[in-house]
């Protein structure tokens, strides 16, 4: 595996690979890698010739500075895992490399309603930061295919919007959420859970399964309230439990029995905020 820290050197190398008709797959991460990230690498290997993974903890997408400071750093382990998985390139830029003019007064994006609901509502500025870093990464790597995990469902929709905004032909592939044996969605944030909270954390998955099993045509508010009560009973502080159209994230209060529905949850367990989702209808 080759490690690049400068975008210019990375770009020259990838341009040479393109001249030899090599197809490039890209997996952007913030490190603290787990099997979910490695599944993205493996998926990229099925469809592309060169797999590029980036590790960059982006300061502009954290609306809580303490959350940024506490984000796990396991770089040596990350590098070893990527090598073992067979990634070809690791892009490891500094903040200055990504934002040479600093992180203030950056460009803003018109994300419409996607920035006003769910994660957009509870994490003001978060998706602006996602677009700021992803626009730079995408233009530095210029991948044929981009691979991201379904756990960050709304973020995937934002990045798909960004690709259209940038007029990039990159193919976007969402990869199914990887879960622990007890159902908890794999996440770098899980490392921050104390043992007692780690045992409670799968309740989010259990709530999603409860919704999937019990959803019926008609009003959905009582099902949402059941889910909220189940989580609060386990000690969660719930930001939202929402049912939305799977293709647009438009909220669904009254289900017609036909439209594909995704259930989304965000909740704090102690200081750690966990998110998850599940398509609960076909």
pLDDT tens profile 29-83? 999 999 999 999 999 999 999 999 999 999 999 988 888 888 999 999 999 999 9
**pLDDT per position as a tens digit, 117-155:** 999 999 999 999 999 999 999 999 999 999 999 999 999
pLDDT, average across residues 92-99: 98
According to the model, what pLDDT value does residue 179 have? 98
Q: In this structure, are 215 and 137 located in the same domain?
A: no
Structurally, the chain folds into a number of domains equal to: 2
According to the model, what pLDDT value does residue 211 have? 98
Long-range contacts of 32-35 (CB under 8 A, 24+ apart): 32/71, 32/72, 32/73, 32/74, 32/78, 32/188, 32/191, 33/74, 33/77, 33/78, 33/81, 33/82, 33/188, 34/178, 34/186, 34/187, 34/188, 34/190, 35/178, 35/186
Q: In this structure, are 76 and 199 located in the same domain?
A: no
Q: Where among 175, 198, 220 does a domain terminate?
A: 175
Q: In this structure, are 119 and 12 located in the same domain?
A: yes
**pLDDT per position as a tens digit, 194-215:** 999 999 999 999 999 999 999 9
167 pLDDT above the threshold of 90: yes
According to the model, what pLDDT value does residue 65 have? 82
Q: In this structure, are 95 and 203 located in the same domain?
A: no
pLDDT, average across residues 170-178: 98
Annotated binding site for (R)-pantoate: 61, 155
Domain assignment of residue 239, yes or no: yes
Please give the residue range of the domain that contains residue 266. Answer: 188-277
Catalytic residues: 37
Proportion of the chain above pLDDT 90, given as a percent:
97
Q: In this structure, are 64 and 198 located in the same domain?
A: no
Domain assignment of residue 183, yes or no: no
Q: Where among 148, 175, 202 does a domain terminate?
A: 175
Annotated binding site for ATP: 30-37, 149-152, 186-189
């Amino acid at each position: 595996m080759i490690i690049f820290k400068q975008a210019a050197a990375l770009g020259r190398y990838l341009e040479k690979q393109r001249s030899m008709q090599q197809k490039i797959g890209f997996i952007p991460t913030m490190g603290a890698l787990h099997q979910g990230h490695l599944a993205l690498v493996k998926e990229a290997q099925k469809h592309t010739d060169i797999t590029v993974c980036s590790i960059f903890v982006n300061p502009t997408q954290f609306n809580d500075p303490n959350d940024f400071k506490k984000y796990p750093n396991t770089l040596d382990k990350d590098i070893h895992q990527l090598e073992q998985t067979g990634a070809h390139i690791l892009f490891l830029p500094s903040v200055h490399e990504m934002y040479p003019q600093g992180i203030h007064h950056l460009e803003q994006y018109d994300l419409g309603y996607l920035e006003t609901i769910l994660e957009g509502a509870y994490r003001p500025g978060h998706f602006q930061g996602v677009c700021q870093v992803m626009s730079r990464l995408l233009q530095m790597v210029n991948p044929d295919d981009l691979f991201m995990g379904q756990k960050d469902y709304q973020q995937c929709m934002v990045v798909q919007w960004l690709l259209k905004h940038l007029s990039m032909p990159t193919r976007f592939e969402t990869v199914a959420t990887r879960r622990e044996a007890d159902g908890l969605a794999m996440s770098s944030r899980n490392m921050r859970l104390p043992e007692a909270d780690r045992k409670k954390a799968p309740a989010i998955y259990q709530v999603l399964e409860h919704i999937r099993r019990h959803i019926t045509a008609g009003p959905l508010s009582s099902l949402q309230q059941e889910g909220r009560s189940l989580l609060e009973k386990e000690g969660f502080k719930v930001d939202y439990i929402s049912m939305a159209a799977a293709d647009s994230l438009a909220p669904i209060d009254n289900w017609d029995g036909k439209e594909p529905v995704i259930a989304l949850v965000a909740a704090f367990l102690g200081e750690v905020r966990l998110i998850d989702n599940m398509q609960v209808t076909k």
